[in-house]
Each structure stands twice: as structure tokens, then as C-alpha cells.
Amino acid sequence: MKQRTAEDLAEPAYRQGLLALLGVLAYGELVGFLTIAQEAGLAPSSRDKVTFAGVATQEFAHYQRLAERIEALGADPHQTMAPFTRAVDDWHRRATPTDWSEALMKVYAGNSIANDFYREVSDLVDPETRQLMREVLEDSGQVEFAAGELRRAIGADDRLGSRLALWGRRLIGEALSQAQRVAADNDDLMGLLVDDGSGYGLDLGDWMRMFTRLTDAHTARMEALGLSA
Amino acid sequence: MKQRTAEDLAEPAYRQGLLALLGVLAYGELVGFLTIAQEAGLAPSSRDKVTFAGVATQEFAHYQRLAERIEALGADPHQTMAPFTRAVDDWHRRATPTDWSEALMKVYAGNSIANDFYREVSDLVDPETRQLMREVLEDSGQVEFAAGELRRAIGADDRLGSRLALWGRRLIGEALSQAQRVAADNDDLMGLLVDDGSGYGLDLGDWMRMFTRLTDAHTARMEALGLSA
């Protein structure tokens, strides 16, 4: 697979694909902010509310950095995000936690799989964008926080484990289905991700293997909590 | 009325009253963050979502500064906020907007009256705390933003004005009733705010005149939108 360089930014097809990727990622961070802040309302204590609020504000800072990159590429962040708002909103609607433990699992399993996905596809972009993506995808301790809280909660309640295992399966199913639909529905994005003969992007075998890796990582995360995936 | 100085921090009654004030203000900022972030979900566009998300993150930054001040005074922020969580949560529950225009009005009228209240009582604390309170109460443009959006919305929809006037009356009524109940229920806070013979704090006449000023300012804000208060 050929590597993208800064010179490729002059190529319209790459630019459009890159903007699409940044658009869906930026909108994901924005709505991630909104939903984590909303889910903080489920937190049992002011301490947990503060932790989640801190996670949310980091997502907003990530959104801001991505919006700046979109602007630096000469595009409007809102127009760039527009094609993806429905799919991202849909994912959150289908994955709305009903209590604090489900909210924690959404951070632990849902945010992790989204981060894994974007980290994989950051290999397909130019070095400066890749650097930015890796920085905004860096875990800021929330996965560890959620894991600790989940372990405690599961240890204290026998039936919680099987409910959360079910919820985790739903999260991964929705996430993979939305990710594939978003890519399939957007030619620019698909052009960036999957090799159409240009020598850039993943071939379809790599594309599928990537989803296998995402699923394996999810399974390992669930097992780390003593849950079956 | 005598002015508080840094030396008063050594006096247990003042300290307790001050901590109570900082506790209710800090929890208010924390829940302000949560609810504004939640209300951003009602925003019609990603642009408005971003604006509201920016407002919310500022509230969280304010929370953090207040929590630091509480810690600097040797207390735990969560224990300090605990006596006030029910009243603040109650206010937000009773004042939950059902659409975007009500959310804007809650920022425009609700946040403003809370800020006016805290700005008034910042006269009753030592200079360093007063400085911090004034900084966190500084409007960061959200009131102007909300006013502009509300003017546009009211101009475009004849019936919206009377619905929002009603909503504004509900907001002020709930706010004043909660503020008075919080103070009345908390001896430490009441001791700080109202003069019990120490020469510090407002006498009951000043206390009531302060609420009159808050109400007048609210009326002026509603009239600035062409609404009756």
C-alpha cells in the first residue's frame, strides 16, 4: 500500500476523501461530547459527574482541533460534517444507555472501538493529519476509569454481568454496522479507505481483516471484565 | 455593612458560610455544564450545538476553579456541594426546556438571574474569593448569543412570544423560590448572607431589596425581547 504525503492534499479526490473522514470524526467528537455530558446526568455521585464532565470537555477540545484542521484545508466544518450527522445521531439513538453502568460500558466498549477504527484508518492519510488524529484519539484515562467502575459494579451484582454482556454485543453490532454503512454511502470516504486501483487504501481483504481486528479487540476488552463478548 | 477581609477566613462561622456559598455555586456550575450540554442536543444545527457546547465547557472550567478554591480552603468539594445537590437538581428538573427556544430562554433569563444573584452576594465575601466569583460569573457571550437567536425566533413566529413570556415567568419564579429556600435551609449560608447582629451581611430589608433588583433586571431583559415579564 502506498503512503499518502502532504503533496497528495493537492489532489481533489484525496482532499475530498480526507475531508469526509475528518467530517465524520469531528461530528463524532462533537456528539460524543454531547452524549457523554448527557450520560454524566446518570452518574450516582458528584464525583463521577465531574469525571465524566472532564471526559466530555476533552471530546469537545478534540472536536475543536479537527474543525481547525478542516478549516485549514479550506473547508467549512459544518458543511463537511453535514453528510454524517444522521448516521452518527442514529448510532447514539440506538445506543442510548438507560443507566450508569450502561453509560460506563458505552465509554469502555463503544469509544474504544471507535478509537480503534480511526487509529487504523489514520494509516491511510498524510503524516500531518495522521499526527492530529492520533493525538485526538489518545485515551485520556476514561477507558481505565470506566473499566474500574465496571469491575466494581459487576463484582457487586451477579446479574449485572450478563445484562452488560448483552449491551456490549449490541454496541459492537451497531458500531460496525454504522461504520460500514457510512463508508458505503459516501463515495469520497470509500475512495479514501478502499483501494480502487490507485494503490492507496486498503484492498477489500484488508478492509475485512481490519473489522476482524476491531472485533477481536472488543472481545478481549469484554473478557478483561470477565464477560463473554 | 462591614467588609470581609482575608483575616476573616480564620473565623469558623465565616469559613463555613463561605464554603456553603462556594459549594452551591460550584454545584450550580457543574450541573449548569451538564444541562447546557444536554440542551445542546435540542439545537437545530451543528453550528448551534458547537456554540452551546462551548458555553457548557466554560461552565465546567468555572466549576474547576471553584473546586480548587474550596480545596485551597481545606475542604473537599464534593462534601461541600452535597447539601445543595437536591435543590439545584430540583431547579433544573422544574426548569427543563422542551425545545430549543426554551433552552435559549433558560440561558438568557435563567443563567442571567443566577449570575446577578451571585454577583450581588460576592459583595459579602473576602476580596480574593470575590475576585474569583466575579471572574467565573463573567458572561462569555452566551447571553448575547441567546438574545440574538431568541429575537430572530420570536420575529418569525407570532405565538412563540407569549409562550416564552410564560416560560420566563416560570423560570424566575422557580429561581427565586429555590434561592430563598436554599438560604433558609442552610444556617451557615444564611449566616453569611444575612446580618445576625455581627455587622456583616445584608439586613432583611437589603435582602428583600436585592430580590427586587433581581426581578427588575429580569423584567428589563424580557422587555428587551419585546416580551412582558
Is the pLDDT at B10 greater than 80? The verdict is: yes
Q: Is A211 on the interface with B (CB under 8 A)?
A: no
| Contact (Cβ atoms closer than 8 angstroms) between residue A6 and residue A205 | no
pLDDT computed for residue B177 by the predictor = 85
Encode pLDDT of B72-86 as tens digits: 999 999 999 999 999
Alpha-carbon gap, residue A168 to A165, rounded angstroms: 5
Q: Residue A140: which pLDDT band, with cuts at 50, 70 and 90? A: confident
Q: What share of chain A has pLDDT > 90, as a percent?
A: 69
DSSP state of B138: S
Distance from CA of A169 to the nearest CA of B (A): 26
Residue pair A26/A198 in contact (Cβ under 8 Å)? The answer is no
Distance of CA B196 to the CA centre of its chain: 25
Comparing CB atoms, the residue among A30, A45, A46 nearest residue B49 is A30
How distant, in Å, are the alpha carbons of A108, A158, B162 from that of A155?
17, 7, 53
| Closest CA–CA distance from residue A114 to any residue of chain B (Å) | 20
Asked if the Cβ–Cβ distance from A57 to B54 is below 8 Å, we say no
Is B2 part of a structural domain of the chain?
no
Write the pLDDT tens digit of every residue in A172-223. 888 888 888 888 889 999 999 988 788 899 987 888 899 889 999 999 999 9
Closest CA to A152 of A98, A226, A95: A226
Mean pLDDT (whole number) for B79-101: 92
CATH number of B135's domain:
1.20.1260.10
The answer as to whether A156 is a domain residue is: yes
Per the structure, how many domains does chain A have?
1
Spatial CB neighbours of A125, under 8 Å, sequence gap ≥ 6: A4, A18, A21, A133, A192
- Tell me, yes or no, whether B4 lies in a domain: no
Is the pLDDT at B229 greater than 90, yes or no? Answer: no
**Residue B189 grid coordinates:** 449560608
pLDDT at A135: 93
In tens, the pLDDT along B56-69 reads: 999 999 999 999 99
ipTM: 0.74
Three cell numbers, residue A198: 490507485
Specify the range with the lowest mean pLDDT, choosing from A67-71, A109-113, B139-143.
B139-143
By Cβ distance, the residue of A56, A60, A78 closest to B46 is A78
The range of the structural domain enclosing residue B197 comes to 10-224
**Averaged pLDDT for residues B131-152:** 90
Flag whether pLDDT at B216 surpasses 80.
yes
| Chain B residues touching residue A57 (CB < 8 angstroms) | 57, 60-61
Domain assignment present for residue B15? The answer is: yes
- pLDDT per residue over A31-89, tens digit each? 999 999 988 888 999 999 999 899 899 999 999 999 999 999 999 999 999 999 999 99
Closest partner residue to A50 (CB to CB) among B30, B38, B49 is B30
Cα A5-A11-A14 angle, rounded to 5 deg:
70
Position B70 scores a pLDDT of 98
**CA nearest B81: which of B32, B44, B40?**
B32
pLDDT, mean of residues A86-112: 92
Closest CA in chain B for residue A60: B53
Q: Is A66 on the interface with B (CB under 8 A)?
A: no
Rounded Cα distance, B79 and B115, in Å? 23
- Please give the residue of chain A at the shortest CA–CA distance from B38: A38
Does residue A1 belong to any structural domain of this protein?
Answer: no
- Is B49 in contact with A63 (Cβ distance < 8 A)? no
Residue B139 has pLDDT above 80, yes or no: no
Which chain A residues touch B54 with a CB distance below 8 Å? 60
Residue A50, chain B, CB below 8 Å: the answer is yes
Distance CA(A164)–CA(A227), nearest Å, equals: 8
Mean pLDDT of A127-135: 96
pLDDT at residue A99 in the model: 93
Name the band, by pLDDT with cuts 50, 70 and 90, for residue B228: confident
Q: How confident is the model at residue B11 (pLDDT cuts 50, 70, 90)?
A: very high
Using the beta-carbon criterion (under 8 Å), do B33 and A53 form an inter-chain contact? yes
Nearest-Cα distance to chain B for A57, in Å, is 6
Residue of B nearest to A84 (CA): B46
pLDDT tens readout for residues A150-163: 999 999 998 999 99
Residues with Cβ within 8 Å of residue A214, at least 6 apart in sequence: A113, A116, A117, A120, A176
* B34·A30 Cβ contact <8 A: no
> Which pLDDT score, from 0 to 100, does residue B220 have?
94
Q: What's the confidence (pLDDT) of residue A193?
A: 92
- Chain B interface includes A47 (CB < 8 A): yes
**CA closest to A28 among chain B residues:** B46
